[in-house]
Structure 1
Amino acid sequence: MHQAALLGSAVKEAQKYGWQMSGTISHDWAAMAGAIQNHVRSLNWGHRVQLQDKKVKYLNLKGSLVDEHTVRGRSKAGKETLMTAKNIVIATGGRPKFPTNVPGAMEHGITSDDIFWLKKSPGKTLVVGASYVALECAGFLTGIGLDTTVMVRSIALRGFDQQMAGLVTDYMEGYSTKFLWKSVPKRVERLSSGAVQVTWTDAQTGGEHRDAYDSVLWAVGRAPETRALGLDRLGVHVHPETGKIIVGADESTSVPNIFAFGDIGEGRPELTPTAVKAGKLLALRLAGRSAELMNYDNVPTTVFTPLEYGCVGLSEEEAEKRHGKDGIEVFQAFYKPLEFTVAERDASQCYIKVICERGGDQKILGLHFTGPNAGEVTQGFSLGLQCGATYSHLLQTVGIHPTSAEELVKIHITKRSGLDATVTGC
């Protein structure tokens, strides 16, 4: 869906590259959704086939633990099956949450899981929340031409570098996504017209406001799927506030033969590739083929907002906390991607930041990038951080012209210097 939005922007800019467009440009939600849903179904089927080929028995049952070696599976029809095993691995992930203190939230709202399976366009949409899921959804809804508003209680992209988060939301505001800052939903009601009316309070003024939307999308976090597993009976320790399972470096729980990985692990990144890798390494250890542990440091990720944001390593805030303000050097550059030139797009939020230890080898602690193809750029540089890359390594790397990634290996202006960090010329 992010790609659908990017294509829409490209079509609008195509005339500046000489493409002659006739007639109005419109987007067909049903056609897009149908194609994407078919793709997801094919992925699911492919997984089933691979499991069968590898002689892995797949049981579509709702599971819970009876004791440390026994699992009860219940079918939709209520039939129960008991299974025993030497080791049990829990990888149930999480589901989007609805707020429990907002009347009408669940009855009249949807979540990020639902948006991908809608048969018809959600229309004018209010997205409540400011996580990467919230901003990604709001970004692609705006990109396909829908009136979209984001309601933010406090800050955007909590846990990410906040300077970068500001660039992402500034770009989105310029891209036509509306933001309601410091706002908290109070109640949700269905009007006779079929629209959903949302009432909220503005924390800055204390005033109460309301507006009607076709859809309200809740993106206020995810809850671990652990409550119905019977963990308390077995003494599997969970965090009292988050409900996530407390795990060791080897994904072990407080019960010796029970392991857990992925989103349900307390303190673990809620990222699919991290869970996939952790699961593979756990499987190898359980099979006695390896002792390698998952390395949770320098995990790269990308936020697929209209202006993509990729990062790996520490945020500037975290680097300061660990090393002190005088213990880090921050190199920065504002640059203009080639894609933005002929199209005359505003590049004022296209920015690169490389955070290094100050003095010595100037080891790179964190790397942050906003711009086109941020995921592709960040993936490559993340290998460098795994290998202990330093600032001098960066400068020794030859750039590929005329890419955005090239600007990373040319970066030389520090925040401390106070100099203009705008890239000029080649």
Structure 2
Amino acid sequence: MSYVNMTMLSNFLKISNSNRPLQRIESIFLLTRRTFSSHGTFDYDLAVIGGGSGGLACAKEAVNHGAKVAVLDYVTPSPLGTKWGLGGTCVNVGCIPKKLMHQAALLGESIHEAVSYGWEVPSPKDIKINWTSLTEAVQNHIKSVNWVTRVDLRDKKIEYINGLGEFKDAHTIVATLKNGSKKELTAKNVVIAVGGRPHYPDIPGALEYCISSDDIFSLSYPPGKTLVVGAGYIGLECAGFLNSLGYSATVLVRSVPLRGFDQQMAQLVTAEMEERGVRFHHKCVPLSVEKLESGQLKARWQNTDTGEQSEDVFDTVLMATGRYALTKALNLPAAGVTVVTESGKISAPTEQTNVGHIFAVGDVLEGRPELTPVAIHAGRLLARRLFAAAPHHMDYDNVATTVFTPLEYGCVGLSEEAAVARLGEDAVEVYHAYYKPTEFFIPQRNIRNCYLKAVAERAPPQQVLGLHFVGPVAGEVIQGFAAAIKCGLTMEQLMNTVGIHPTVAEEFTRLNITKRSGKDPNPASCCS
């Protein structure tokens, strides 16, 4: 029996034994509405501020262990006016619509390639995307997920409050509802799971005329010629699928592409994108965006090395210059939460803030991977610790991820740079290879950027520190190997694993050439 049920049972028995019938009935009624604890009486055992993946996972798991839970969620419209339903970034303006757009782009490529396999299709010049149909299909799916999420909360008897929550004190939250009215509630425990939103650079025209990933998946008009400002994974993914859908894409790179990822792999990703037609301007920062009489946007930018300024006219300018945590609206000082960084993120290594009963999960955490599965797993584990006395904490090491660029990049563990920085160059061995996906034989597709590597300790048994793969279905490839990394995979074990032929995943089992050896990492044939 959960701690909540035991507490309620104990108090129920005390009330039932009372000699005052009226008081007994009134008290039993109140007990169904509020939870009594040693700290006082609260409306809920747990209040979750933020209805994204991490917050919802925590709330549902808490209910499974007998807790009484409320979830507060409110979406402030983007500068363009875009808003969405319950479910957070991933469902509405992140992973899900991004993957659907990526899939649409892959299907377009497949249609063109089908001719080489004997399919009779219309002339390539007649194949084009209907942007309205695409966005309608994507939004219809998202709305169905929004609905299922709300029904799930209702079925689990989790109170959903469509309001912007902020602290009144350490146990009291005030929600501002859509109509402007206020709703006040108290909770024994609070989880902050508000996530983040796109950052806009402080330049003329950014807020007035530009869009972000909050807007692109429901944009009411075809984006046309697009400038993407920023070369993180969001910027590259958007530029990649827009280009593949037939919309010219240009990317401004301030420093390096895919900062925080293995830079050799990042260079392969951008090289592939350039070969497919995406334009890159390196070491460039935006200066201004001006709306012309034609409705188009004139963007100006500057090269930070040379000082040279350039400009061009676009139909759409998409800002992908990072994200900020939505903590300012929470009134954290009222709750006594002080572990907030300059970026607005919360520093809480074990999800617990400096206030013992206030926790945080997901993208709002400082120094943690901004990934939906990370938030979900951390939220569930936190709920189990709070309401089921479970001992397990989230392990943030060796979390796999994939960048869904036209040629995908999947990785788990340390980058080559991080491994060398941690252990020293002489202590690291890198096994690598180029390979030829069978899918690329007919028609003959570019394979110059199909590459993988294993970063390992040089000393026996050569434990694998990181795996990196650029190629088709990278996410599917890297997921299984992520489990092996968690189990302490060594190079000997990897080399003694029999691959499934012909797949691209088997290429990891065939790694045998090290960078240190200087040997040619190109295969002699598909079966070499």
State TM-score, norm by structure 1.
0.98
- Residues 211-255 of structure 1 show CA distances to partners (whole Å, capped at 9, x for unaligned) of 111100000000001001011233212343211011032x10000
- Counterpart of 1:110 in structure 2 is 211
Paired position in structure 2 for 1:367: 467
> Structure 2 unaligned runs (5+)?
1-100
In the alignment, is residue 385 of structure 1 matched against residue 482 of structure 2? Answer: no
Distance 2:305 2:347 in 1: 38
What does residue 253 of structure 1 align with?
353
2:506 aligned with 1:406: yes
CA distance in 1, matches of 2:467, 2:258: 16
Cα distance, 1:286 vs structure 2: 1.0
Structure 1 distance, partners of 2:261, 2:278, is 20
Structure 1 position 342, deviation (Å) = 1.2
Q: Is the 8 A contact 1:128 1:134 kept in 2?
A: yes
Q: Could you tell me how far apart the structure 2 residues matched to 1:240 and 1:384 are?
A: 35
Contact 1:138 1:177 in 2 (8 A): yes
Contact 1:142 1:176 in 2 (8 A): yes
Alignment of 1:131-280 (within 5 A): 131-249=232-350, 251-280=351-380
Counterpart in 1 of 2:429?
329
Q: Decide whether the 8 Å contact of 2:200 with 2:207 is kept in 1.
A: yes
What is the DSSP-based 3-state SS (H/G/I as helix, E as strand, rest coil) of the residue aligned with 1:413?
A: coil
- Asked if 1:295 corresponds to 2:395, the answer is yes
* 1:8-157 equivalent positions in 2, closer than 5 A: 8-23=108-123, 24-100=126-202, 102-157=203-258
State the 1:401 CA deviation: 0.2
Query: How do 1:310-321 residues align onto structure 2 when only pairs under 5 Å count?
Result: 310-321=410-421
User: Is contact 2:341-2:347 (8 Å) kept?
Assistant: no
| CA apart distance, 1:396 | 1.5
Correspondence for 2:494: 394
Whole-angstrom distance in 2 between the partners of 1:147 and 1:352: 29
Identity within the alignment, %: 54
Q: Is the 8 A contact 1:126 1:216 kept in 2?
A: yes
C-alpha distance in 2, partners of 1:112/1:422?
38
What code does the residue aligned with 1:119 have?
Answer: S
Amino acid aligned to 1:334: Y
Instruction: Give ranges in structure 1 of 5+ residues lacking alignment.
Output: none
* Structure 2 CA distance for aligned equivalents of residues 400 and 183 of structure 1: 44
Partners of 1:8 and 1:203 lie apart in 2 by 37
Structure 2 contact 290–299 (Cα < 8 Å) conserved: yes
- Whole-Å separation in 2 of the counterparts to 1:41 and 1:291: 37
Residue 210 of structure 2 aligns with an amino acid whose one-letter code is: G
Q: Deviations 1:279-320 (Å, cap 9, x if unpaired)?
A: 011111111241110010100000000000000000000000
Structure 1 partner of 2:450: 350
Partner amino acid, structure 2, of 1:202: N
* Alpha-carbon displacement from aligned partner over 1:77-110 (angstroms, at most 9, x marks no partner): 111011001101110000011112x111110100
| Alpha-carbon distance, 1:205 to partner | 2.9
Q: Is the 8 A contact 2:170 2:334 kept in 1?
A: no
* Residue correspondence of structure 1 range 2-13 to structure 2 within 5 A: 2-13=102-113
- Offset of 1:72 from its aligned partner? 0.3
Opposite residue 304 of structure 1, the aligned amino acid is F
CA distance in structure 1 between the partners assigned to 2:309 and 2:352 by the alignment? 48
200-209 vs 356-365, which moves further? 200-209
Q: How many residues align?
A: 424
Measured in 2, the distance between the counterparts of 1:424 and 1:269 equals 38
Q: Is the 8 A contact 1:237 1:246 kept in 2?
A: no
Task: Please state whether the residue corresponding to 1:160 is helix, strand or coil.
Answer: coil
Letter in structure 1 aligned against 2:487: C
The answer on whether the counterparts of 1:252 and 1:259 sit within 8 Å (CA) in structure 2 is yes
Aligned AA (1:16): S
- With over 3 angstroms needed to count, the CA separation of the structure-2 counterparts of 1:424 and 1:379, relative to structure 1, is same
Report the residue type matching 1:396 in the other structure: N
Q: Tell me how far apart the structure 2 counterparts of residues 248 and 271 of structure 1 sit (CA, whole Å).
A: 16
State the secondary structure of the residue aligned to 1:241: coil
User: Which residue number corresponds to residue 421 of structure 1?
Assistant: 521
Task: Give, in whole Å, the separation in 2 of the partners of 1:64 and 1:255.
Answer: 16
CA shift for structure 1 position 22:
2.4
Tell me, in whole angstroms, the C-alpha distance in 2 between the residues paired with 1:290 and 1:216: 48
Counterpart-to-counterpart distance in 1, 2:139 and 2:504: 32
Contact 1:247 1:260 in 2 (8 A): yes
Q: Which has the higher helix share?
A: 2
Q: Aligned partners of 1:307, 1:76: CA distance in 2, in Å?
A: 43
Partner of 2:386: 286
